[in-house]
Amino acid sequence: MSAPDRTPFPIERVRRDTPGVENVVHFNNAGSALPPESVVTTVVEHVRREADIGGYEAADEAEDRLSSVYTSLAALIGAEARQIAVIENATRAWDMAVYGYPFKPGDRVITCRAEYVSNIIALLQLKQRFGIEIVLIDDDDEGQIDLSQLEAELARGATMMAMTHVPTSGGLINPAAEVGKLCTAYGVFYVLDACQSIGQVPLDVDTIGCDVLSATGRKYLRGPRGTGFLFVSDRALGVIEPPFLDLHAAKWVDDGEYVIRDDAKRFENWETNFAGKLGLGAAADYALELTVDATAPRLIALGEMLRSRLDRVAGVSVHDKGPDRGGIATFTVEGITAENVRAGLLASAVNTSVSTPGQARHDLAYRGLPTVVRASVHYYNTEAEIHRFIDVLQTSVIPRP
Ligand SMILES: Cc1ncc(COP(=O)(O)O)c(C=O)c1O
């Protein structure tokens, strides 16, 4: 076994790289993180270049750098560049794979309580369209997906497993690799929504064993808004077909014939945000340089610290579950709505967001929770910012008795 890495975390450097930390205590990383300066410069310079020499010409000039975006994203998750499609967000990336699956009536799709709202809406539409059956696996006693119930349902026969790794509304980290082992054992197509986990915890598609993985740019990866990507394994490439095709995804080879390209780019479309794509690559490069292996322990420790400080505030209840938790903390304050807590914090330049039960029916609503405040930390946050957050909450948001 290799010795543990005792190199101190380069917190001064990452904060210097992150100009936004001068303005706000940003605990809305699960919404959209503050980007490092390298991402901002990359995007702005490309937009400037488009204005200076023309959009197509700027893209031609950046051809090599655009192609490295795929190499960088692939390296981040242990994949090959040809298995990556750059797509405008995690939802569309997930949709391209799942709407591209050749469902038949009666196909069973297994999912979990943490599954993202848009994915559930899509599955409900696919149920109406094709007569698929949606099977919901319960949480175990600790709050993560119940692996024994999952195995029992897989043994009954299933077509697809769709799981969200880290939900939008809580600290839970679902056991993605254990689920992958079960899916492999039962030959079930495994779709992992890694929207909140990319950049937050290390991801390796071989270890996880997923067929496809969807991710976004703007959250824990710290990329620009309006960017995301899809990983498609070689096996999955032979199973799913893009629900839409264009001249980038396919070639019109004869008057009545087309041929779909053979890599994951078949899930992309031709026109795209080139500046955003380059910015996404810069975000992946920044994560690769720091390494998610090195940033994740700090992020997880800050998440734990935030929850334990919140636990000690009178009138506050923390609602995160699961044996493994990351940087997202959800809580309510007795007698104050989550929206008002958020607004009170924002007035002191402390950014959070809220999660509504209507967007998490199988989780928050099922647990009988109202709208909760979501405070989500990143590795560039500090203990001092957690103190500040608690201080503002206690002094400016929660009225004194
Ligand atoms: C778990 C999860 N999946 C998917 C999404 C959707 O991502 P995007 O907004 O990039 O489509 C979100 C957004 O919050 C999310 O939290």
SS3 of the chain: the string is CCCCCCCCCCHHHHHHCCHHHHCCEECECCCCCCCCHHHHHHHHHHHHHHHHHCHHHHHHHCHHHHHHHHHHHHHHHCCCHHHEEEECCHHHHHHHHHCCCCCCCCCEEEEECCCCHHHHHHHHHHHHHHCCEEEEECECCCCCECHHHHHHHHHCCCCEEEEECCCCCCCECCCHHHHHHHHHHHCCEEEEECCCCCCCCCCCHHHHCCCEEEEECCCCCCCCCCCEEEEECHHHHCCCCCCCCCCCCEEEEECCEEEECCCHHHHCCCCCCHHHHHHHHHHHHHHHHHCHHHHHHHHHHHHHHHHHHHHCCCCEEECCCCCCECCEEEEEECCECHHHHHHHHHCCCEECEEECHHHCHHHHHCCCCCCEEEEECCCCCCHHHHHHHHHHHHHHHCCCC
**Model's pTM, two decimal places?**
0.97
Segment 21-76, tens digit of pLDDT: 999 999 999 999 999 999 999 999 999 999 999 999 999 999 999 999 999 999 99
169 lines ligand 1 (CB under 6 A): no
376 lines ligand 1 (CB under 6 A): no
Interval between CA 376 and ligand 1 midpoint (Å): 14
**How high is the pLDDT of residue 76?**
98
**Candidate from 118, 164, 197, 353 with most ligand 1 atoms within 8 A of CB, to mutate:** 118
**How high is the pLDDT of residue 1?**
46
Interval between CA 69 and ligand 1 midpoint (Å): 21
**How high is the pLDDT of residue 330?**
98
220 lines ligand 1 (CB under 6 A): no
**How high is the pLDDT of residue 3?**
62
196 lines ligand 1 (CB under 6 A): yes
**How high is the pLDDT of residue 2?**
54
Distance CA 240, CA 243 (A): 9
Interval between CA 196 and ligand 1 midpoint (Å): 7
Interval between CA 20 and ligand 1 midpoint (Å): 22
HEC string for 89-125: CHHHHHHHHHCCCCCCCCCEEEEECCCCHHHHHHHHH
Domain extents for the chain?
Answer: 11-34+291-397, 39-289
- Topology (CATH level 3) of domain 11-34+291-397: Aspartate Aminotransferase, domain 1 (3.90.1150)
Q: Which atom of ligand 1 is nearest to the CA of 114?
A: 1
Interval between CA 115 and ligand 1 midpoint (Å): 10
Ranges of residues in the chain with a pLDDT under 70 are 1-5, 401
Sign of CA dihedral 91, 97, 98, 99: positive
Cα–Cα distance list, 168 to 89, 173, 200, 314, 384 (Å):
15, 11, 13, 26, 25
**How high is the pLDDT of residue 399?**
77
**Candidate from 88, 163, 174, 195 with most ligand 1 atoms within 8 A of CB, to mutate:** 195
Interval between CA 128 and ligand 1 midpoint (Å): 23
Which residues in 55-92 are b (16+ Cβ under 10 Å) and which e? Answer: eeebbeebeeebebbbbbbbbbbebbbbbbbbbbbbbb
Is 322 within 8 Å of 367 (Cβ atoms)? Answer: no
Q: What are phi and psi of 195, to 5 degrees?
A: -55, -45
Interval between CA 229 and ligand 1 midpoint (Å): 12
216 lines ligand 1 (CB under 6 A): yes
Residue nearest to ligand 1 atom 13, measured at CA: 168
Interval between CA 127 and ligand 1 midpoint (Å): 21
Dmax of the chain from CA atoms?
Answer: 77
Segment 70-118, tens digit of pLDDT: 999 999 999 999 999 999 999 999 999 999 999 999 999 999 999 999 9
CATH (residue range 39-289): 3.40.640.10
Distance CA 19, CA 362 (A): 38
Interval between CA 183 and ligand 1 midpoint (Å): 23
Regarding beta strands 250-254 and 228-232, do their DSSP bridges make them parallel or antiparallel, or are they unpaired?
unpaired
Structure token digits, residue 398: 């929660």
195 lines ligand 1 (CB under 6 A): yes
**How high is the pLDDT of residue 4?**
62
Is 143 within 8 Å of 172 (Cβ atoms)? Answer: yes
**Candidate from 96, 164, 173, 216 with most ligand 1 atoms within 8 A of CB, to mutate:** 216
End-to-end CA distance of the chain: 54
